[in-house]
Structure 1
Amino acid sequence: MVDLAPQAAAPPQVSAVSPVRRYYVLGLLTAIYALNFLDRTIFNVLIEPIKKEFALSDTMMGLLAGFGFVLFYSTLGIPIARVADRINRRNIVAAALAFWSAMTFCCGLASSVTSLALARIGVGIGESAGTPASQSLVANLFNKNERPRALGIYAIGTYLGVFLGYFIGGWVNQHYGWRMAFMAAGLPGVGLAAVLWLTVSEPKRGAADPATAAIKPEPLGATLSFLFTQKTFVIVLIGFCLTTYTNYATSAWIPPFLARVHHLTSAQIGTYAGTFKGLFGMAGTLAGGLIVARISRSDDRWKLWAPAIMSGLAGPVFAVCMLTSDFSTMVAALALTSFLVGFHLGPIFAIAQTVARPSMRALASAIVLLTATCFGQGVGPLAVGMISDGLKASYGADAVRYALLSAGVTTTLGSLLFVWAAHAIRADIARAAS
Structure 2
Amino acid sequence: MNLHNQPASAEASPAAAGADAPYPPAAQGWYCVIVLALAVMVNFLDRGILNLLVEPIKQDLKLSDIEMSLVMGFAFTFFYAVFGLPVARWIDRGTRKLIFSGGLFIFSIMTFACGLAHSFAQLFVARVGLGVGETTSGPSAYSMMSDYFPPHRLPRAISVMQVGFVLGNGLAFLGGAALIAWAMTLDGVSLPFTGPLRPWQIVLMTISIPGFIVALLMLTVKEPPRRGGIPERIPYSEVFKLARQHWPIYLPLFAGMGLRSAQMFGQQNWGAAFYSRTFGWGPSEVGVAIGFSILVSMPLGLILGNWLAERFQKQGLADANMRVVVISTLFSVPFGILFPLMPSPWLAVAFSLVAAMTSIMAAAPENAAIQSVTPNRLRGQMTFLFLFIMNVIGMGLGPIVVGALSQYVFGEANIRFALAAMGLLAGLPAIYIFWKGMAPYGRAYAAGGVDVGARA
Does TM, normalized by the shorter one, top 0.5?
Answer: yes
Letter in 1 for 2:222: S
Q: Does 1:412 align with 2:428?
A: yes
Q: Distance in 2 between matches of 1:224 and 1:55?
A: 43
Match of 1:188 among 194, 203, 210: 210
Shift of 1:353: 1.1
Q: Does 1:153 align with 2:160?
A: yes
Deviations 1:72-97 (A, max 9, x none): 12111111011110111111001001
The within-5 A match list for 1:285-300 is 285-297=302-314, 298-300=316-318
TM-score of the superposition, structure 2-length normalised?
0.87
Contact in 2 for aligned 1:169/1:178 (Cα 8 Å): no
Aligned to 2:330: 312
Distance 1:245 1:218, change over 3 A: same
> Percent same amino acid among aligned pairs?
26
Q: Does 1:25 align with 2:32?
A: yes
TM-score of the superposition, structure 1-length normalised?
0.91
Deviations 1:243-268 (A, max 9, x none): 11122112201111111112212111
Aligned to 1:371: 389
Match of 1:206 among 200, 212, 227: 227
Q: Does 1:380 align with 2:398?
A: yes
Aligned to 1:210: none
Q: Distance in 1 between matches of 2:56 and 2:180?
A: 9
Aligned to 2:57: 50
Q: Distance in 2 between matches of 1:59 and 1:268?
A: 25
Shift of 1:4: 7.8
Shift of 1:290: 3.4
Shift of 1:126: 2.6
Q: Distance in 2 between matches of 1:299 and 1:54?
A: 53
Q: Which moved more, 1:409-418 or 1:101-110?
A: 409-418
Q: Which runs of 4+ in 1 moved over 6 A?
A: 3-14
Counterpart secondary structure, 2:270: helix
Shift of 1:49: 0.2
Shift of 1:17: 1.7
Q: Distance in 1 between matches of 2:96 and 2:17?
A: 22
Q: Which moved more, 1:365-374 or 1:162-171?
A: 162-171
Distance 1:13 1:173, change over 3 A: farther
Shift of 1:133: 0.9
Counterpart secondary structure, 1:206: coil
Contact in 2 for aligned 1:14/1:143 (Cα 8 Å): no
Shift of 1:59: 1.3
Q: Distance in 2 between matches of 1:346 and 1:272?
A: 26
* RMSD of equivalent CA atoms: 2.4
The within-5 A match list for 1:265-276 is 265-276=282-293
Letter in 1 for 2:272: P
Deviations 1:152-195 (A, max 9, x none): 22223323211121122222123311011111221111111111
Letter in 1 for 2:224: P
Distance 1:214 1:117, change over 3 A: closer
Contact in 1 for aligned 2:21/2:227 (Cα 8 Å): no
Contact in 2 for aligned 1:153/1:289 (Cα 8 Å): no
Give unpaired runs (5+ residues) of structure 2.
1-9, 184-198, 452-456
Q: Does 1:179 align with 2:201?
A: yes
Counterpart secondary structure, 1:423: helix
Shift of 1:317: 1.6
Q: Which moved more, 1:85-94 or 1:121-130?
A: 121-130
Q: Distance in 1 between matches of 2:160 and 2:282?
A: 32
Q: Distance in 2 between matches of 1:252 and 1:317?
A: 17
Q: Does 1:244 align with 2:261?
A: yes
Q: Distance in 1 between matches of 2:255 and 2:65?
A: 27
Contact in 1 for aligned 2:15/2:226 (Cα 8 Å): no
